[in-house]
């Protein structure tokens, strides 16, 4: 496939969540660009391993697992926005609005990227809550990025992850900088649960670690905070901050939502 | 039932959670005594209405609904200590440990109190998560006290409660006092989720109200923080010296030493 064909295929997809280089010089215009932090995450050895990416969306982590030598990669995501955890007052029109943006095909970019990358990642539809070892088997490595904050029941989700994890779990999720500085050791989260961003619990760094632990994991390594850069489609991309707090924060931690990465293993 | 028989029945219960006045001078030796603060809660008018108490334990709030004139009261609780939301590291043995402390029969205190009071409250064995109109019908008034902090997925439980609430919902829950004072408007919660204390999310007062909102309720009125006093058998009733400054602070801020709570009256908005 020529570069022009690749470019055309990328442009034909109305919504890109991830920024992925799908062909030499052809990069998807995602909302978020994980490429600058991908190398700094506490990756386990995935060479020859059976791997799962939960809440895969356009598949950035899944393709990264494959690139790092995984033997098999399964990418799980919901079939459509009706399976998101909408707050009750958005449940009526939220899914239809999301469908309208994406042309009725949630995360259609995954299939485009998979084809252009010549990838053999397997796509499975389902929610994190429904992860079932009887259906999918168990995995040596599980990744989950920026999903917990979008879940009404993050601890139930983490326990479901533990149920299919027989090796390592890499959790990269959004944290609140202010709460992390105010309470370095005490696990605290702020609750949204009402906005269109579909944010629920956003913990401080200690809270993210406690969430992982209280779902039955032991933490091996932690990195961050990492700012996940805005991609070309995000309104924050290229915008210049004027609020002094934001400027200071960006100087300290970089631009974009802050994340912490935790590598953990199931206990027991 | 004679006073002696009532006393004997009260003594036969291994652990009383609620302090309940059973009449004729018999008061159950509970861990918590809601009597001094019960009128601070934002009660709706319950007269002649069909009411539900979720997570009733020994039934204090259910009997209070009845006392306030409810036509019919259903009291809901899990039937077994193993049914709590144990953290994974406690799941294998937590139920047995608690059974040794609180007696093997989960609803023993409720049954004793119900008989002694001659109450018509109907007990239903069910967790908050399982509530549905198909299973229990709908209620004019639902109350729930000090339950959410013991739930791993409190918002799922609140949505289930909304599903059976056709009128008003009064929620009284433990709140983090320091976080409530430092952040009066920002919804926050601390997370425990480890160890045998069975505590998960403890919000500040704003967080408690946001939990209700994001489960589809609108707040009609709410209280400031108050402390739910320890009952006669709570270990903190006789605190070590180092705990005294904290208890004095609680008395100053919230009126009693005990567990800081906030309550809200709400109704389904969706």
Per-residue pLDDT tens listing for chain A (268 residues): 789 999 999 999 999 999 999 999 999 999 999 999 999 999 999 999 999 999 999 999 999 999 999 999 999 999 999 999 999 999 999 999 999 988 889 999 999 999 999 999 999 999 999 999 999 999 999 999 999 999 999 999 999 999 999 999 999 999 999 999 999 999 999 999 999 889 999 999 999 999 999 999 999 999 989 999 999 888 888 777 788 877 887 877 778 899 999 999 999 7
A193:B190 CB<8 A: no
Give residues with Cβ within 8 angstroms of A92, minimum separation 6: none
Residue A106 contacts residue A98 (beta carbons within 8 Å): yes
The neighbour count for residue A118, using CB atoms within 10 Å, is: 7
Domains and CATH numbers, chain B: 3-268 (3.40.50.150)
**For A47, phi and psi rounded to 5 degrees?**
-55, 120
The neighbour count for residue A97, using CB atoms within 10 Å, is: 11
A189:B189 CB<8 A: yes
**For B27, phi and psi rounded to 5 degrees?**
-125, 130
Q: Which of B214, B216, B217, B218 should be substituted to probe chain A, the one whose Cβ sees the most A Cβ atoms within 10 Å?
A: B214
Tokens 């629920």, located at residue = A200
Residue A202 contacts residue A174 (beta carbons within 8 Å): yes
- Full-model pTM: 0.95
Chain A residues near any Cβ of chain B (below 8 Å):
87-89, 91, 152-153, 155-156, 159, 162, 179, 186-194, 200-201, 203, 207, 210-211, 213-216, 267-268
A188:B190 CB<8 A: yes
What's the ipTM?
0.94
Q: What residues in B contact A186, CB-CB < 8 Å?
A: 190
A153:B152 CB<8 A: yes
pLDDT, residue B243, reads 77
Nearest to B155 among A153, A210, A214 (CB): A153
Tokens of B85: 């939301």
Residue A55 contacts residue A160 (beta carbons within 8 Å): no
> H helices then E strands: how many in chain B?
9, 14
3-state SS assignment for residue A188: strand
Nearest to A188 among B153, B188, B269 (CB): B188
Task: Please identify every stretch of chain B with a pLDDT value under 70, giving residue numbers as ranges.
Answer: 254
Q: Distances in Å between the alpha carbon of A59 and those of A63, A112, A214, B196?
A: 6, 10, 27, 39
Q: What angle do CA B157, B31, B84 make, to 5 degrees?
A: 30
Residue A186 contacts residue A172 (beta carbons within 8 Å): no
A213:B193 CB<8 A: yes
Tokens of A4: 């022009």
A194:B179 CB<8 A: no
Residue A176 contacts residue A64 (beta carbons within 8 Å): no
Q: How far apart are CA B246 and CA B243, in angstroms?
A: 6
pLDDT, residue B259, reads 93
Nearest to B193 among A87, A188, A214 (CB): A214
Q: What residues in A contact B215, CB-CB < 8 Å?
A: 88
Q: Which of A85, A87, A88 should be substituted to probe chain B, the one whose Cβ sees the most B Cβ atoms within 10 Å?
A: A88
Q: What angle do CA B12, B107, B196 make, to 5 degrees?
A: 95
Residue A115 contacts residue A123 (beta carbons within 8 Å): no
Q: What angle do CA A65, A113, A259 make, to 5 degrees?
A: 50
A216:B186 CB<8 A: no
A211:B179 CB<8 A: no
B216:A88 CB<8 A: yes
The neighbour count for residue B48, using CB atoms within 10 Å, is: 10
- What is the b/e burial string over B84-119, where b = at least 16 CB atoms within 10 angstroms of the residue's CB? bbbbbbbeeebbeebbeebbeebbbbbebbbebbeb
3-state SS assignment for residue B116: helix
With CA atoms as reference, the chain B residue closest to A152 would be B155
Give residues with Cβ within 8 angstroms of A240, minimum separation 6: none
Length reported for chain B: 270
Q: Which of A241, A235, A267 is nearest to A253 (CA)?
A: A241
Q: What residues in B contact A153, CB-CB < 8 Å?
A: 152-153, 155-156
Residue B109 contacts residue B16 (beta carbons within 8 Å): yes
Q: What angle do CA A50, A53, A58 make, to 5 degrees?
A: 130
């Amino acid at each position: 496939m020529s570069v022009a064909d690749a470019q055309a295929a990328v442009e034909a997809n109305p919504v890109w969540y991830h920024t992925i280089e799908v062909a030499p010089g052809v990069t998807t215009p995602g909302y978020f660009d994980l490429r600058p932090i991908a190398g700094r995450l506490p990756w386990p050895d995935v060479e020859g391993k059976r791997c799962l990416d939960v809440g895969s969306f356009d598949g950035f982590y899944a393709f990264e697992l494959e690139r790092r030598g995984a033997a098999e990669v399964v990418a799980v995501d919901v079939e459509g926005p009706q399976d998101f955890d909408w707050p009750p007052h958005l449940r009526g029109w939220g899914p239809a609005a999301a469908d309208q943006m994406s042309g009725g095909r949630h995360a259609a970019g995954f299939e485009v990227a998979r084809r252009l990358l010549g990838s053999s990642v397997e796509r499975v539809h389902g929610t994190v809550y429904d992860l079932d070892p009887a259906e999918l088997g168990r995995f040596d490595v599980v990744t989950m990025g920026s999903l917990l904050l979008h879940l009404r029941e993050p601890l139930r989700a983490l326990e479901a992850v533990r149920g299919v994890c027989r090796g390592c779990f890499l959790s990269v999720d959004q944290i609140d900088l202010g709460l992390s500085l105010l309470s370095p050791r005490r696990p605290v989260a702020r609750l949204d649960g009402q906005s269109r961003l579909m944010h629920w619990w956003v913990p401080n760094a200690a809270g993210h670690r406690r969430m992982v632990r209280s779902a039955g994991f032991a933490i091996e390594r932690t990195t961050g905070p990492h700012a996940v850069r805005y991609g070309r489609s995000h309104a924050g991309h290229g915008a210049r901050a004027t609020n002094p707090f934001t400027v200071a924060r960006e100087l300290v931690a970089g631009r974009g939502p802050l994340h912490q990465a935790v590598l953990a293993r199931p206990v027991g | 039932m004679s006073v002696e028989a009532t006393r004997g029945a009260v003594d036969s219960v291994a652990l009383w959670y609620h302090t309940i006045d059973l009449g004729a001078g018999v008061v159950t030796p509970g861990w918590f005594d809601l009597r001094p603060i019960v009128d601070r809660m934002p009660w709706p008018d319950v007269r002649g209405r069909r009411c539900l108490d979720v997570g009733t334990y020994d039934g204090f709030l259910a009997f209070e609904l009845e006392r306030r004139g409810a036509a019919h009261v259903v009291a809901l609780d899990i039937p077994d200590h193993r049914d709590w939301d144990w953290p994974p590291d406690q799941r294998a043995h937590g139920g047995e440990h608690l059974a040794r402390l609180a007696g093997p029969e989960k609803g023993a205190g409720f049954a004793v109190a119900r008989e002694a009071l001659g109450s018509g409250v109907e007990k239903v064995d069910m967790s908050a998560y399982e509530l549905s109109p198909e299973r229990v019908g709908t209620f004019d008034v639902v109350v729930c006290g000090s339950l959410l902090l013991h739930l791993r997925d409190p918002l799922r439980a609140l949505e289930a409660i909304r599903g059976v609430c056709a009128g008003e919902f009064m929620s009284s829950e433990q709140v983090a006092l320091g976080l409530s004072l430092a952040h009066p408007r920002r919804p926050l919660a601390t997370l425990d989720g480890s160890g045998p204390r069975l505590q998960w999310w403890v919000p500040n007062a704003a967080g408690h109200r946001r939990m209700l909102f994001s489960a589809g309720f609108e707040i009609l009125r709410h209280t400031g923080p108050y402390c739910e006093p320890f009952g006669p058998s709570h270990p903190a009733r006789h605190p070590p010296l180092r705990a005294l400054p904290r208890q004095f602070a609680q008395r100053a801020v919230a009126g009693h030493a005990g567990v800081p709570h906030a309550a809200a009256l709400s109704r389904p908005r969706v």
